[in-house]
Amino acid sequence: MAAEREPPPLGDGKPTDFEDLEDGEDLFTSTVSTLESSPSSPEPASLPAEDISANSNGPKPTEVVLDDDREDLFAATEEVSLDSPEREPILSSEPSPAVTPVTPTTLIAPRIESKSMSAPVIFDRSREEIEEEANGDIFDIEIGVSDPEKVGDGMNAYMAYRVTTKTSLSMFSKSEFSVKRRFSDFLGLHSKLASKYLHVGYIVPPAPEKSIVGMTKVKVGKEDSSSTEFVEKRRAALERYLQRTVKHPTLLQDPDLRQFLESSELPRAVNTQALSGAGILRMVNKAADAVNKMTIKMNESDAWFEEKQQQFENLDQQLRKLHVSVEALVCHRKELSANTAAFAKSAAMLGNSEDHTALSRALSQLAEVEEKIDQLHQEQAFADFYMFSELLSDYIRLIAAVKGVFDHRMKCWQKWEDAQITLLKKREAEAKMMVANKPDKIQQAKNEIREEIEEWEAKVQQGERDFEQISKTIRKEVGRFEKERVKDFKTVIIKYLESLVQTQQQLIKYWEAFLPEAKAIA
């Protein structure tokens, strides 16, 4: 859905004025080209203080779009009908772009995690209000994935999940709605978002992984516990995926996402199939990327990036290790549960054969207690898994996405470098030509060279801008990611500890019930 566009004619020299800027902002949400109505896209360089995140719907990072800090503008544009992804003329319906949201400097306070778009807002809201809203975690959209149903039969069967959205954000037409989606739809959404945002430095949450074995079992219709577990695992993963995606303020604005959540029919994302043409292309690209990564030697001028990359490497390793341990715990707890159940049965038998009545009764009670404890263990194992282990694997994949973003930055730098080199070559060629002092018929060639040089100069500037842009974006994204990470981990771990507490409480109850029985053995 990326709207392809010509790069704005750079160097137009039109000074950036706020009006245009605002127009650009307006366009942001309707994924419309800035260029249609404004002749120039404000250059980021001229708004030095501004934290502009390039959030384009296409591979053109020059789209100057204000980031989420300028909520009031967004609010204004929320009313745009988003169903038409085509370009739309500027929302001139908006009240005067005299929504000069103050001067850029005041707006800069990077509200990286502002996610509140709670109400259709009036423009002249005071700065404080906006800040407050952004500050509090009023994140007014809730997504649930539920009711997995098997649709169809045989190898063409698939599981359909109900995606329910509850929101008071005005960008959606209703406040509560649900649609049916299948797994490949989720993958399709992810690939669309990734193609739009990854290369400009946004950390797009990765979608859950495919599993051929699991799905086949489900398709074949095996109604055993492992396939129900598989479906449940997948459902939970999809829910977490969507929740993460909508938490991202930029991605939330994306029309693809909205279409995914809202529209009842979605074109089948065939490209996500592993064996499709697109799939193979993806694999080839991945391989090429890996090779490139090894060959690109980047001059890292910014220590921050190096530091962060190192950090993420370490974090990745640690998380993997932790993940392994937690998986072992899950496994052992399941084992414990099974063994406890076996013991319970055995104790019951023993109780039966014991001829001393009180002891026999006590043993049977013991058997019952152990059976209940076995249930407890099972539940605890589920908790272990769904809370802890899945969190870790999610983050391991997220970190892979983060690393990918860093790689994109490298590629961007590479492009810039290449442009610079080419420009140099062209300049040299021109210089040579000048010196040669040939007759006029070469004039054309000279003109050509001149043009090429201009072109490459522009490309160099573009490259530089892109690079700076992506660097800025990454910084912000990483900051946001870290905050999210901290919150996520804290929440989940606390929830997990609570589950441990509950287990202990139950244990206490059971043993307290058993104790008098044991004491009653005469």
Footprint on this chain of other proteins (rule: CB under 8 A): 311, 314-315, 318-319, 321-322, 325-326, 328-329, 332-333, 335-336, 339-340, 342-343, 345-347, 349-350, 352-356, 358-359, 362-363, 366, 482, 485-487, 489-490, 493-494, 497-498, 500-501, 504-505, 507-508, 511-512, 514-515, 518-519, 521-522
CA dist., res. 365 & res. 344, Å (int): 10
Our CB check for other proteins shows the closer of 431 and 520 to be: 520
CA dist., res. 174 & res. 161, Å (int): 20
Is residue 150 within 8 A of residue 217, CB to CB? The reply is no
Report DSSP letters for 23-73, one per residue: HHHHHHHHT--HHHH-SSPPPGGG-TT-------SSS-TT-----TT-HHH
Is residue 21 within 8 A of residue 47, CB to CB? The reply is yes
Give the Å distances, CA to CA, from 22 to 34, 44, 165, 486.
Answer: 10, 13, 30, 34
| Cβ partners under 8 Å of residue 203, min gap 6 | 248, 398, 401, 402, 405, 477, 478, 480, 481
Is residue 160 within 8 A of residue 110, CB to CB? The reply is no
Our CB check for other proteins shows the closer of 230 and 406 to be: 406
Q: How far is the CB of 396 from other proteins (least distance, A)?
A: 13
Our CB check for other proteins shows the closer of 59 and 479 to be: 479
Q: How far is the CB of 357 from other proteins (least distance, A)?
A: 10
CA dist., res. 312 & res. 318, Å (int): 10
Q: How far is the CB of 392 from other proteins (least distance, A)?
A: 10
CA dist., res. 227 & res. 217, Å (int): 6
User: In the sheet that 176-182 helps form, which strands lie side by side, from edge to edge?
Assistant: 141-151, 158-167, 176-182
Question: What is the rounded end-to-end Cα distance, in angstroms, of the chain?
Answer: 80
Helices (H), 126-211: 127-135, 183-197
Q: Which DSSP category does 113 fall into?
A: T
Our CB check for other proteins shows the closer of 33 and 380 to be: 380
Nearest CA to 478 out of 320, 317, 304, 323 is that of: 304
Q: How far is the CB of 242 from other proteins (least distance, A)?
A: 24
Q: How far is the CB of 385 from other proteins (least distance, A)?
A: 13
- And the tokens for 117? 């778009």
Is residue 446 within 8 A of residue 433, CB to CB? The reply is yes
CA dist., res. 401 & res. 420, Å (int): 29
At CA 235, angle to CA 230 and CA 240, rounded to 5? 125
Q: How far is the CB of 355 from other proteins (least distance, A)?
A: 6
Q: How far is the CB of 343 from other proteins (least distance, A)?
A: 4
Our CB check for other proteins shows the closer of 220 and 501 to be: 501
Q: How far is the CB of 117 from other proteins (least distance, A)?
A: 23
- And the tokens for 260? 């995914």
Our CB check for other proteins shows the closer of 105 and 505 to be: 505
Our CB check for other proteins shows the closer of 445 and 515 to be: 515
Q: How far is the CB of 302 from other proteins (least distance, A)?
A: 17
Our CB check for other proteins shows the closer of 5 and 323 to be: 323
Q: How far is the CB of 505 from other proteins (least distance, A)?
A: 6
Our CB check for other proteins shows the closer of 468 and 488 to be: 488
Our CB check for other proteins shows the closer of 59 and 304 to be: 304
